[in-house]
Each structure stands twice: as C-alpha cells, then as structure tokens.
Structure 1
C-alpha cells in the first residue's frame, strides 16, 4: 500500500466533500447524504477498512467503520462527524458555496466550518495511519452521520436507537465545535474544548380564541393572547446560572487574561472578552427566543387561533426551571408543544482523554491553553451520550488572529485556512497515539 501524507491529503478531501451537495433543509426532501457517504466509504475502503453504509431513509446515509486497536480489551473511542450542511444562497457568497475553491489560503464553501473540515481531518489521519501500518492504542469507531443539522432523526439518533451494537465498547467520543484557537497575543492562544451543551426546546405556541368580524368587540382574540405571551417570553431576563463548565472557563480565562473575576457579576467578565462575548454570553443563562409568528388570513377577520415558534435552550441542570418559567410566561390561554426537544449534557474537564487533547495541542503549539466551554447549540453527542459515552468537541484548528471562526457557523463565506487543516491533522494524529 502506498504511504499517504495526511497533511497533503486533507485539503483535497475537504474540497471534495464541500463539492458534494448534502444540503439539509430539515424537510427530508433534499439531496441527502448518500453521495457524501459513498465518497467517505470509498476513501476508508482504500486503506483496508470495511465501512458500512446504513440508510435510515432514502438517501439519508450514515457511514460506520471500526479500526482494531493494539489493545481491543480497552474501552473504545468514537470519532464522529456529520455529512449534512445547512442551506445557502449562492448570491451572497464570494465563492460559490459548493465550489470547494482554494483561495486566499483557505478552503471555501458550505461545510468548511460546519463540519466537513473535521470530516476531512478524520479521513486524512486515518488514511495516513493505516497506510503506514500504525494502529491506534485502542479500538476506534468512525461515524459519519446524516441529519445532524435537523436534530439527527435520520442520523445519530437513528443509529443509537437501531444499531447500538456498532458502538460496542465506546465510552468516549470527540467531534465538532471545539478545539479551535482564539488568540490572546502573538505567543498565546486559547483552545476552546466543548465539554457541555445546552438542551434544546423548539416549541410551537398556540392561542385559541373566538373568531369574528374585525369591526366587532372581541375579548377572546387569539392574536392578542399570543402576542402578549410572545412578548413576555421575548423580553424575559433569565437569571445567570453558573454551571461547572462555565465557572471553570471563567476562572481559567480570568487568570490568563489577568481579569478581575467576580462570579456574582460574571457578565462583567464576559463583556471584556471581545468576539468571544457573544458566544460565551449565551452560556450564562437559559434563553428563549421567539422566531416565527402566524395568525389570521384576512384584515377584517379575527382568527380562531394563532401560532408562534420559540427556540429555547436550557443549561445542564436547569431544564425543570426552564419549563416552569416558560409555562408561567405563557399564561392560561396559550399552550405549547414540542417541535424538537433534546437533553443538555456536561462532563468534567479531567481524565486521560483531556490530557491527550491538551498534550497534543501543546506539542504542536507551545502557546496553547486548553479550556472547557459550553456550547449554546447542540451536536450528535446528545444521541451518543445516551449510549453511555462521555464526549468533547475537539476539532483542532490553529486559526489566524482576528478570524471570526464562530461567526461563520451557518454563515456566509464559510472558509477554513489550509494551514489550520494541516495543523488539525498533526494534532489528531498525536491525540490518537495518546488516547
């Protein structure tokens, strides 16, 4: 077998994956992930693995492969990445989002950040190691999933429910939205490793009233009831709740940046974090943002009902408080139902896996400081946690100072620096040796 170089391959792999349209609009009517899954499976088969492509529905394809480790009696490690991407408007982009173009030192396109970059790094590392005959210290399961961008119904959730045997022995996992750098100065960089995720509560609110003529008095106007409830929810100031992960993050970053930390006024510290403030600020409290409104069909008709949608996110340990508060804000005449509901998760920032991540980063960047943080969104880890896995967001990228990487998630002009991809391959290789 020809020995492969992961640093050389990763850019081409990333570009190839971006060029495959795997857009997921959440309606199960898009192109699906089949073409991307076949590409991944072919790349894994070329280095001797026997990947399985599993479809949960037509075109909704997942790829699973297991690499035998030097000691298969040890607990196994899961590396997982999703193959779907969110929709886009090509006219808004500098380079077409399906071009995978390499320009200005970056790979451009939808998925360059979320998360075909990590998919490519996983493939590049595995292909290099297997072409060199290097096995990991323990079994490694690779999962490339469908449907993460719509909650994982056809991907990680389905795999966990229908094929848990494929993850036998897996107790730990790594994947997206962590491990990327934020520059402190020329010599030091924070690497944010995701150790917790907020829970998700997408809710449909419904108010019912009495239909009637728009010119008449009506004390049971559904739109009025709904609008008042939406206003109460949208304006509510949720109290700060400091979780274990957030407290650790604030403590570490305050030491590093020599900031005065008052945990009774954590918002003051977060406000000093520049571009990080938006991302970290959302992890200090539960949130509930109204996102959609619908009611009525004619200007002179009072409708019988009206609906709204709210995107709710709750911190680990605060789900009960979240829903108690929401129900108080709704009032007696507005009901709620779930469009999508999933758990919050959190793990401690300690143990051998954390040391392996930290050591791998330091070996490639002596100015690295790894710190845990909470993700305000969600990932496939929620599904895999139900199989007993402890997981982290660790897609290592050393980024140029000033690049608003987090702002490119689901944004316009997604791009990842070529040098960052190569850095990620080196770090993941070291991480696997030490995991």
Structure 2
C-alpha cells in the first residue's frame, strides 16, 4: 500500500493499488462449470472484510449455487427520496494459462508502472477503485447526494445466471429504490488525431450494449456403418447449416449510440462515415474498430462443434453452440432471420440476455462528464455501444437505467480492447489512480 505523507490520512488513491493487487492474487476463475471448486467466495468474503473494517455491515449472498459469493452494501445519501445509484462490479475472471504470460496471471505484479494480472482490466481494477472510494467515504463521513448501492458480483463472465440474474430474480429487495447504475465497460480514454494533426483524448461512456444469446444447435439422423449410403447424416446437416450462418451478413443498423459516437468522432477528427461504406470508414479507427465495427450489425459466431465417436460410424446426432450478439430492437427480426438460415431440420434452444440502451443525457451524464473534465480539462466525452455484454442486462430487468463508467486514462498507443480476456492483461498504476479520483468526484456529485 502507498504510504501517505506524514500527517495526512490514507486516501482512496493511496490504497487502490494495494487493494487491486490483493484482489488479483485471489483466484476467482470462472470456468463456466457450475461444479468447479474455484468460486468467488474467497474474493467476496475478502471484500466483506474490507467493508467491515471501516464499520459497514454488508450483505453476503450466495447466488444459486455454493460458493457463488456476492456482497451488497448501501451507503445512505443526503436525499433518501431520490432514486439510488447502483455501482456494480464483478469478482470473477476468465481462465488464464500461466505458460502464455510474461508474469504469473495471479501475481498482481507491478512492472514498468503497470499492474499485471488476470482481472487488472476486467474488472478487479474497478472493484478496487469502487472499494477504495467507498472506504474513504465512510472514514471521512462523506454523505453522497443520494443512496449508493455497491454490488460486488459473481458469474458475470458466464452471463450472471449465478450472480446478477439470480439476485434480480430472487433478491430484488437488495436493489430497492435503485433507478440508475454504472458498471463496465466505459469511461476509458482513446486518443484520436484531429484534422490539424493534433492528438485529442476522448472518454467513451457506454450507453448501449448488444444482447447476448448462447444458442445450442442439434441435428438428428440415422446412425449406421459409414461404408453404406446415407441420406440423413446429422453431421452433414448441421455443418451445412453452420456454413450458411457463417456466410450470412446481417443488415447494417445504425442505433443512436453509434450515430452519436460517429458524429462526435467526425467533429474531432474530420473523418466522415458514409453509410454506404461504413465498414471501411470504421476501420480507420484502428484498434477501436474491433469494438465499433461489431456494433454495425448482429453477429452469430459458431464456437463449438461436437459429433461422432468413431471413424467408421455415422452418429445419430451432432451439436454446436453459436454465440449471437443482437442489436437493441432487433431481437424479433434476428430470430426470424436465424430460423430462415438454419432451416427446420436444426433444433434450437438458447439462453439469452437482453440488449441495453439509454440516451446520452441527464444529470448523471453531466456528473460523469464533469468528473472526467475536472481531472482532464481538454477531454472530449462521447457515448458508444459495447459489442459485448455486462451485468447491466440483468439489472435492466428491474427498470434500472445503465451506463458503462469505469474511468481510466490510457496511453495513446495501448491496445485496450485486446487486454479483455487477453494474455498479459494489465493496467497502468497511473490509470488506476486517475480512475479513483474521477470516481470519487463523480460519487460526491451524482
């Protein structure tokens, strides 16, 4: 932990790095296997201990399965009549193969002014920032403008079915009175080049995210000896359907968050984004184009294929999974289109989480913008749509308006999007400290 100068009490900025390191060193890997011996319990109990240390009395809840620990605590605000604000972060991380990393993914090592480890970006860094600010508020007796509900959650990396989704369905009283929320992925900076060749830093606040559907496909056929003629081969039927799906291009749809983002980039850089050549124009955004390009249309990507058990035996069935990402407002049309592509011979079942979308306006947006500009006076602030999904999908079922806001000031040459679920995940110490200051300002004025 950083040591403050003599005579000054410890601040959120002083302890955020130490908190983040300790969190990374707690293994909370989410394999997607509900029977795994690794759960979020240890991380959640550690969070609860950090809150109890400053006098808070958090609620610990296991969401639908042993060990799937969640911690929720409410900090009363000056105006209890106002809708409460939810600050939610997830404790689980995706698996990491230590042999592929420059440092051990659970080391929490600081090297070259960066904090390295699984979860540094997604999203134990934000957990640490939120925890540090909350602890400082309690130590200093800060009363925010309205109630703040902090939720440290399990299972986000597998859809939140043993986390936020379970809590929404079984413990909605924990979020009573909440009208707005912040979480991942937004508030991070990206650097553009203006028409005059000068760099300009813009912070992207998420106002929308695509829906997620994990589709399970299955075909059935007549099993038998592979040397004989076959007319209903389950493997061939499924492979043909998957091939049609991968070759299909869903229609380009420009949702408001994308339109506002592109207009903002045009104002900053002079780059135009003609609708008849939007893919090529978005490609000019460099590393950011991976995220933005994926929000131009729905996507459906095959991720697994299982069939057969012996080289000379025709199996009776074949199965595949497809990861579908659906734009807001496109759900009905997407499923109809998918059915036409796959045809009647491919069985379909799925788990889904809805798209999320809100407008880029209101007092909360003003508070986020003011907090960012106070720390970075030349900054621009733009809305954008996330191509992935977060626990916002579950909380939207309670009517909660959501924004992605986990503020970080990033180096201009950092490929930030590649760090999510990537090898050598890391965040600069300066970015963590910046984000902590921004979050502190924001929560004092929200």
Assess same fold via TM > 0.5.
Answer: yes
User: In structure 1, the residue corresponding to 2:403 is in which secondary structure?
Assistant: strand
Conserved in 2, the CA contact under 8 Å of 1:156 and 1:384? yes
**Pairing of 1:362-401 with structure 2 (within 5 A):** 362-401=373-412
The reply to whether residue 12 of structure 1 matches residue 18 of structure 2 is yes
**Pairing of 1:190-339 with structure 2 (within 5 A):** 190-338=202-350
Q: How far apart are 1:416 and its partner, in Å?
A: 0.6
Conserved in 2, the CA contact under 8 Å of 1:24 and 1:30? no
Q: How far apart are 1:252 and its partner, in Å?
A: 0.9
Q: How far apart are 1:212 and its partner, in Å?
A: 1.9
Name segments (4+ residues, structure 1) moved above 6 Å.
Answer: none
Equivalent pairs, count: 433
2:90 — aligned with what?
82
User: In structure 1, the residue corresponding to 2:398 is in which secondary structure?
Assistant: coil
Select between 409-418 and 26-35 the one with higher mean Cα deviation.
26-35
Conserved in 2, the CA contact under 8 Å of 1:3 and 1:128? no
User: In structure 1, the residue corresponding to 2:285 is in which secondary structure?
Assistant: coil
Matching residue within 43, 58, 64 for 1:51: 58
Measured against aligned partners, the alpha-carbon deviations of 1:299-352 in whole angstroms (never above 9, x if no partner) come to 1111111111111110000011111111111122111111x2111110001101
The separation in 2 between residues aligned to 1:187 and 1:107, in whole angstroms, is: 26
Conserved in 2, the CA contact under 8 Å of 1:23 and 1:86? yes
Taking structure 1 as the reference length, what is the TM-score of the superposition? 0.97
1:181 — aligned with what?
189
Select between 116-125 and 251-260 the one with higher mean Cα deviation.
251-260
Measured against aligned partners, the alpha-carbon deviations of 1:130-149 in whole angstroms (never above 9, x if no partner) come to 21111111100000001111
Conserved in 1, the CA contact under 8 Å of 2:83 and 2:146? yes
Q: How far apart are 1:417 and its partner, in Å?
A: 0.3
The separation in 2 between residues aligned to 1:296 and 1:133, in whole angstroms, is: 64
Q: How far apart are 1:269 and its partner, in Å?
A: 2.2
Q: How far apart are 1:247 and its partner, in Å?
A: 1.0
Q: How far apart are 1:48 and its partner, in Å?
A: 2.1
Matching residue within 34, 39, 42 for 2:49: 42
Q: How far apart are 1:187 and its partner, in Å?
A: 5.0
The separation in 1 between residues aligned to 2:356 and 2:407, in whole angstroms, is: 21
The separation in 2 between residues aligned to 1:17 and 1:422, in whole angstroms, is: 16
**Pairing of 1:102-117 with structure 2 (within 5 A):** 102-117=110-125
Conserved in 1, the CA contact under 8 Å of 2:77 and 2:144? yes
The reply to whether residue 404 of structure 1 matches residue 433 of structure 2 is no
User: In structure 2, the residue corresponding to 1:329 is in which secondary structure?
Assistant: helix
Select between 142-151 and 261-270 the one with higher mean Cα deviation.
261-270
**Pairing of 1:117-196 with structure 2 (within 5 A):** 117-185=125-193, 188-196=200-208
Conserved in 1, the CA contact under 8 Å of 2:30 and 2:92? yes
The separation in 2 between residues aligned to 1:260 and 1:112, in whole angstroms, is: 35
Q: How far apart are 1:372 and its partner, in Å?
A: 1.1
CA RMSD, 1 decimal: 1.2
The separation in 2 between residues aligned to 1:224 and 1:15, in whole angstroms, is: 50
User: In structure 1, the residue corresponding to 2:381 is in which secondary structure?
Assistant: strand
Conserved in 2, the CA contact under 8 Å of 1:4 and 1:127? no
Measured against aligned partners, the alpha-carbon deviations of 1:197-246 in whole angstroms (never above 9, x if no partner) come to 11111111111111121111111111111110000001111111111111
The separation in 1 between residues aligned to 2:347 and 2:162, in whole angstroms, is: 28
1:72 — aligned with what?
80
Measured against aligned partners, the alpha-carbon deviations of 1:170-195 in whole angstroms (never above 9, x if no partner) come to 10000111111111257521111111
Structure 2 unmatched ranges of 5 or more: 1-7
The separation in 1 between residues aligned to 2:346 and 2:42, in whole angstroms, is: 44
The separation in 1 between residues aligned to 2:239 and 2:81, in whole angstroms, is: 59
2:30 — aligned with what?
24
The separation in 1 between residues aligned to 2:272 and 2:254, in whole angstroms, is: 17
2:434 — aligned with what?
423
Structure 1 unmatched ranges of 5 or more: none
Taking structure 2 as the reference length, what is the TM-score of the superposition? 0.95
